[in-house]
Structure 1
C-alpha cells in the first residue's frame, strides 16, 4: 500500500510511535511523511519521501497574555492555512490512507476535517484542558482573563470535536484512552498499543547505581511532588536520578537506555497517564516499575510480576520503595519478568500488524 503519515508532535512517546511504526510498515509498504515543526528532523530514512513544513510558534510564558491571545487566534489561523496546503498535496498523491497523529497546537489536527483520502487518527488522549477537572481554569485569574480563557476553551473544544469526528478510523493507544474517547466524544475507537524496539532498549552491563529514576517535570500531574513527599518520610533516603523537562530533555536512545539500566527502580507517577511508553522502555531494560494504579499503567505494568501498582499516596510509595530497594533478589526477578513481558507483548511489529488489520477490515467494508 501507499501510505502517508502526518504529525505535528513535540518530542516524546507519541512522536516515537510515528517513527517506529514507519520503520515497521516500510518493509512491505511505501511510506511518505508530512510533518510540521520549527526545524527539520534528522534520521527519517524509514520514509520513502519526507515533506517538511516549517512553522515557528510564538513562545508564551505564564503572564504574557498578549502572546497567548496571539497564539489562540492568529497563530491558530496560520496553522489552519498550512493544513489546507498539506491536505491538497496529500490528496493529489492518491494514497491508500493517511495515518494522522496528534497536534501540539489543537490536539486533533485540522487536516482531519479537510482530507478526502481515507484518514486514520491515532488519538493519544482527548483534549485534557477541556475534559479533565485537574486542568480547570485557575481561580486566581482576573475576570478579563477568565472570560478570555473560557472563550478560547470553548472554541478549542469545537475545533477538536469537529476534527476528531471527521476521522474515518479512530485509534486509541490504550483501553483507558478508548474509554476516555467514548466519554468525551461518544465515539468508538479501536485499541492499537505502542511498543518497544528491544534492539534499542535492553539491559546494559553496568551497575545499578541509582535506587530510583524519575523522568518528567515538576508539574502536579506528573507526580514529582508525590515522589518528593514519599522521600521525606523515608528513614533511609534513596539515591534518586531526576530527569526534569525544565532542565534537560533527553532524546538520545542510548542515553535513555543507560539511565534505565543504571537504576534499580523506575517510577511512573503521572495522573491518569493515557498509556506511557517509558514504563515499557524501562521494563525492556530489566528495570522494575512502580506506578500509580490508574490510567494506562494498569495495562503495561503487571502488579507483583514486572513491578508494582500502588495508590496515589506518599506513605504507600515510600513503603514500596523501601521494600524493593533493599531486596536485590526481588529486583532481579522482577527485571527478568519485565524483559519477557516486553518481548512477548510490546513490540512495534505487533503494533503495526494490529494497525494494518484494523485498516484492511475498514477498506474491505467500504
Structure 2
C-alpha cells in the first residue's frame, strides 16, 4: 500500500477535477491510501466522490483572496496553492509517500522539502492559457511563466493528459529537454455510468422535440460555447421550418457564482441566442448533477464539443461511452479520441462547418444510432478505466521503489 495525497487548487466541478478524482478512485481500487488537500472545497459545488466519504478532504488557505480588486487571479492562485503546500508539509499530520500535484507547479519547491516523491500532472502549460495581449500583462506574466517552467522541472515524474499536450509541453518548456512526460489519458470510472438513468423532465430535455443537440462545458469564453449557438442558428436557417421546429439545443455547463467570468459569459450566451432568434429553442443548465448529466448523455442525440485546441477533453469520451455521437473541433485532444465519420465528426471550429455536420443528423435520423454504437465500442477498446488504473498504479509503485 502506498500513501498518496492529492494537492489540488480547487475541488469544484471541471475536467481537471474529474481527472484527479478518477485518479484517486483508481489508486484506491488498488488498495492505496488516498486523501486530498485543497484550497477550496464546497460540498454544494463538487463531485459526489469528494463529499460522500470516499476520501478525506482537508481545506487549507480558503481564507486567502482569489483576486485583488478583480485582478491578479494567477498570483492569488499561486499563493493559495503554496499556502496549502506549506500546510501539508509543515503543519499537517497527514502521512504520505507520494504527493500528486496538478495545475499549479509553483508549490513544488515546498513539496520537495518533504521526503515524499512528487508527481506533477500537467493538464496544459498555464502560460499558454493566460493572456499576453498587452505590455502590462506580458510584464505581469513574465516572472510567473519563468516560475512555472522552473518548478515543473522539480517533479520526480511528470504526466500529461494526451500526446497533443506532450508535444506542446516540449515546445513550451525548452529548458526541460531532459524531462520526458508520460501520457496518461484521464479516463473516468465508467461503473458510475452503468446506473439506471432517469427519464428526462421537460425542464431538462423538451419532450416535444425530435432531435436534441447537447453542449457540456464550463461557462468560460475559452471553451468557445458561442460556436454551438451560432452553428445551431445557422442550422435553423438552412433547414425547413417543420424540421427546425423539431430540433433543440441544451447548453449545460459548470457554473460558480464566485467566478465573475461564469456569470458574465452566461449572460453573453443568452444575448447571443436573442441575436440568432433561437431563445425558445435553447435550454441553459448550470452546475447540473451527475444524475442529470447521465440523463443528458443518454437522451440527447449529438454532443457539440466546441473548444479549439483542447488539450484532451473528457466529455467526448463520456458521450461516446453513452452512445452519443460527437461533433468536435479538428484540433488538440479530440484528434486522439473522436474518429471522424465513425464515432462522430471532426470539423474546423467554424459555425458553418459545425452546422453542416449537424444537418446530417437532421437528414438521417438513423445516423446517430450507428455512430453511437461505434463510439461505445471505440471507448471500450481504446480507453478503458482498467488500462488507466494499471498505468497509474505502475507509476506510483515505481516511484516508491
* TM-score normalised according to structure 1 size: 0.82
Partner of 2:124: 125
Query: Aligned partners of 1:30 and 1:44: how far apart in 2?
Result: 18
2:378 match:
341
Superposition pairs of residues 321-360 of structure 1, within 5 angstroms: 321-360=358-397
| Equivalent-residue separation in structure 2 for 1:75 and 1:288 (angstroms) | 36
Q: Which residue of 1 aligns with 2:216?
A: 215
Q: Distance in 2 between matches of 1:25 and 1:38?
A: 22
User: Is 2:307 the partner of 1:270?
Assistant: yes
Residue 179 of structure 1 corresponds to 167
Is residue 58 of structure 1 aligned with residue 55 of structure 2? no
User: Following TM superposition, by how much is the alpha carbon of 1:93 offset from its aligned partner in structure 2, in angstroms?
Assistant: 5.7
Distance 2:159 2:78 in 1: 25
Q: Does 2:140 align with 1:152?
A: yes
Q: Structure 1 residues 72, 230: closer, same or farther in 2, change over 3 A?
A: closer
SS in 2 for 1:266: strand
The answer to which of 16-25 and 256-265 deviates more is: 16-25
Q: What do residues 115-160 of structure 1 show as CA deviations (whole Å, max 9, x unaligned)?
A: 2311111111111xx336xx54345xxxxxx43x333201211221
Instruction: Give the counterpart of 1:300 among 337, 351, 357.
Output: 337
Q: How many residues align?
A: 342
Partners of 2:77 and 2:186 in 1: CA distance: 31
Q: What is the match of residue 107 of structure 2?
A: 110
Is residue 58–residue 67 contact of structure 1 (8 Å, CA) maintained in 2?
no
Q: Structure 1 residues 120 and 239 mapped into 2: Cα distance closer, same or farther (>3 Å)?
A: same
Q: CA deviation at 1:361?
A: 4.2
1:137 aligns to what? 132
Distance 1:220 1:54, change over 3 A: closer
Does the 8 Å CA contact 2:160/2:166 hold for their aligned counterparts?
yes
- The aligned counterpart of 2:47 is none
Look up the match of 1:310. Answer: 347
TM-score (norm 2): 0.76
In the alignment, which residue of structure 1 is the partner of 2:30? 28
**How far is 1:89 from its partner?**
5.2
* Distance in 2, Cα, partners of 1:206 & 1:67: 42
TM-superposition CA deviations, 1:56-100 (whole Å, max 9, x none):
45355xxxx74425x56677545434422212357x766332222
Instruction: Indicate the SS of the match to 1:239.
Output: strand
